[in-house]
Amino acid sequence: MKVAMTVRKRVMIFAVMFVASVRQAKMTAVTISFNWRSSCSCRVRIALNLKGLDYEYTGVNLVKGEQNSPEFRKLNPLGYVPVLVDGDVLLSDSFAILLYLAEKYPQHPLLPSDLKTKAINFQVNFYFLSL
């Protein structure tokens, strides 16, 4: 009987810890403003999904010029997408957003842990960003 109580107690402790971690994850909601046609926006959306993060989507219609609205220009004066808002952090460059997500949310890493491989990854990314 003591063994069964110990297992039951462990399961209850695990369940409480799991629920607490889920509540904490939902409190840190990430909001992203982007357009489906933008490759930079797609890059960020892919990273958010690979990391398994919940995020709120705000669409920006580039054809209608919504990126030039005063509301959007408050987020990004240049009018570019994507824009990521995470609490008091506001970022509007896809590469900066990817680096931020990689550091703040270490689960499901976007970059390799090996320094040499990570440097080669950065080299390739910087090359394609310069085109």
> What is the spatial distance between Cα 128 and Cα 22, in angstroms, rounded to a whole number?
37
Residues involved in catalysis:
39
